[in-house]
Structure 1
Amino acid sequence: MTTHVDPANPWVFSTRELGRRAGAMRAFHRDVPAPGDDRRIGLDVLAVPPGATIVLDVRLESVTEGVYVSGTASAPLAGECARCLDDLTDHVTVEIGELFAYPDSVTDETTDEDELPRVADDHVDLEQTVRDAVVLTLPLAPLCSDDCPGLCPECGERRADLGPDHGHETLDPRWAALRERMPN
């Protein structure tokens, strides 16, 4: 199956200058906008905001079986603390290292299509590669601080805002009838 790419897409890099000469290399620095909500980079609780600038510093190197892409991607993150639900921001820099197989190469013929990306029309599309690298580095439960006390399970208020004497009286339901008969 041949995939076509849009060369105008900022995530797409041309490999034409490399040819198929093993060892040919080209470096790129590119600022690309993060995709919108439908193709969001991240998790539900922490992600790259849509439209935020992702900085790509990558090298494309021609190897026998394809084009090896290496480098870094840096991006801002926004989300919420998994304990207290406060907004939080962060920054992530991930290492990228991915082989894009040439069409009709041994690697192309011996791997499944979802196993390895492919060079398509002399271009490589780095969006999925960057997405995978970012998602793998994100915490599943991001915290605003390591010692975040979270929310009170009874009233839902932030424990950090509540005093040390905060508590909720819990009455065993079996004693509720007696409490109603007690004088105030």
Structure 2
Amino acid sequence: MDTRSPFVVGVHDLVRRPGAMRVKELGIPAPADLRNEVIGVPEGAEIAVDLRLESVVEGVLATAQVTAPLVGECVRCLATIEDETDVEVTELFAYPGAIQVDPEDTEAEEIAEPHEDAVDLEQAIRDAIVLDLPFQPRCRPDCAGLCPQCGTDLNAAGPEHSHDVVDARWAALVEAFGEASAETKPTTSGEESDR
């Protein structure tokens, strides 16, 4: 544990004192990789943590309301999205040996522990934020996306935007008939009388 990390909070006044409680408000700069492929918390943006620490028989129970700004891209039209995440975090930092885990249970979650009368909230906060991020964020629920032919933003283009699209399987046939119809263009009655 890096005691200089802003995610590390001292709990020396709570250790082994069941019933003791403390509340604290933190403003933590976001690390660089708090995101998925399309949206996340900008590096250095403030993560607001409304923290409650309680001493229980098994260890120190941390509960927090975590709020952070989000910036990303709409998966349909690629417009910039600015939003906010608001998640709850609950983590028990158990004293060594306070919780028995079956050593043969390979899927058991690792139990967080206080270290030198401090707890590190980073993993719990990181997990809560990243798991709450949308995998396909949209700028609005009815986003029309981009035109597959020309890339125009269909939200701004309006319903009159369209293209004549020919199925690739018929393109050669359409091209041949297009040339034939140009060659056999009907003449006007005036042209016939001149002949």
Runs of 4+ aligned residues of structure 1 deviating over 6 Å after TM superposition are: 108-113
Matches of 1:92 and 1:170 in 2, distance apart?
42
Is there any run of 5+ residues in structure 1 with no aligned partner, and where?
Answer: none
The TM-score normalised by the length of structure 2 is 0.82
Contact 1:103 1:120 in 2 (8 A): no
Contact 1:101 1:108 in 2 (8 A): no
Are 1:68 and 2:61 an aligned pair? yes
Are 1:120 and 2:119 an aligned pair? no
Are 1:14 and 2:10 an aligned pair? yes
Matches of 1:179 and 1:116 in 2, distance apart?
73
Residue equivalent to 2:193: none
Amino acid in the other structure paired with 1:179: G
User: Could you tell me how far 1:125 is from its partner in structure 2?
Assistant: 1.0
Are 1:41 and 2:56 an aligned pair? no
Residue equivalent to 1:179: 178
Contact 1:108 1:118 in 2 (8 A): no
Identical aligned pairs, as a percentage?
43
Aligned alpha-carbon RMSD (Å): 2.1
Which of 14, 24, 27 is matched with 1:28 structurally? 24
Residue equivalent to 1:103: 96
> Structure 1's 108 and 8: CA in aligned 2 closer, same or farther, altered over 3 A?
farther
User: Could you tell me how far 1:114 is from its partner in structure 2?
Assistant: 4.2
Matches of 2:101 and 2:95 in 1, distance apart?
7
Q: 5 Å matches for 1:161-172?
A: 161-171=156-166, 172=170
Amino acid in the other structure paired with 2:145: G
Matches of 1:99 and 1:56 in 2, distance apart?
17
Amino acid in the other structure paired with 2:80: D
Contact 1:31 1:56 in 2 (8 A): yes
User: Could you tell me how far 1:109 is from its partner in structure 2?
Assistant: 7.2
Matches of 1:183 and 1:56 in 2, distance apart?
72
Count of aligned pairs: 177
Amino acid in the other structure paired with 1:81: C
CA displacement 1:101-129 (0-9 Å, x = unmatched): 21232346778774332222222111111
SS in 2 for 1:68: strand
Contact 1:29 1:55 in 2 (8 A): yes
Contact 2:15 2:59 in 1 (8 A): no
Is there any run of 5+ residues in structure 2 with no aligned partner, and where?
Answer: 184-195
